[in-house]
Structure 1
Amino acid sequence: MTTEQRLLNAAKDLILEHGLINFSMSDVPRACGLSRACCYQNFRDKNEILAALCIEEVQVNIKAIQEQRFSDLIGTFSMVLRPLIFNHLKDKDRLALDHVFAELLALIHGLPEKMNSSFKAWFRVH
């Protein structure tokens, strides 16, 4: 597992355990036994970690749709955090997040109409 993935897993666990309000970037490296410097070498700030969590989750959803494993779809971070953090992201992170969401929505629009309607409701796509 890469250092970046270890940090993301720790961040995810911390958010799920303590909530987003109590999430602190300084807790992330401690939770996975790494240094603060290591954390900042991989992520500039808290928003970059949150963006990475959103992107990771959308990529998991894309794969689940492609493999027709619809019960594996998740919305823990991407559906809640994207609107909250989007305006606070650097351009590079906004573009990356937009790209994966566009890919996900294109997959949803390509599904048969009955499934497409269910996904639109689930993702609140209008």
Structure 2
Amino acid sequence: MTVVDTGLAGEYAAIHAYGTAAVHLSGAPRDLAEALEAEHRDRRDALLDFYDGHGMEAAPAQASYDIDPIGDAEAAQALLLDVEERLATTWRAGVASEEPAEREICLNMLTASAEALARWRIAVGEAAAAPWPGRPA
């Protein structure tokens, strides 16, 4: 499994998480969740194009994903913040790839993930900036 495979699996899981969590949100957080879900769909599509362009076969999304029950908006936001942190970590690891094409797509995905992570941090009242997005604390 390559880092791009891991990242694609993460994007699939993010789309599922956003679809599950957004129904618990309203107002600006719901708008943000819907916008970021669309961005994850765009990233998934870009990754599928990457696979096609390199003659590779992409794994399909899983039929379901294991998500703890979401009881309220706070839990939904916490889940989505965690999703963005995990994706940033995944894509950050991919930047170290020895394959130039993989490194490039991982860098592009890390940039998008870092932006999404900052947007959620602002939404939940945390500092937006992290000196090294995706770096384990």
TM-score, structure 2 length as denominator?
A: 0.38
Which has more radius of gyration?
1
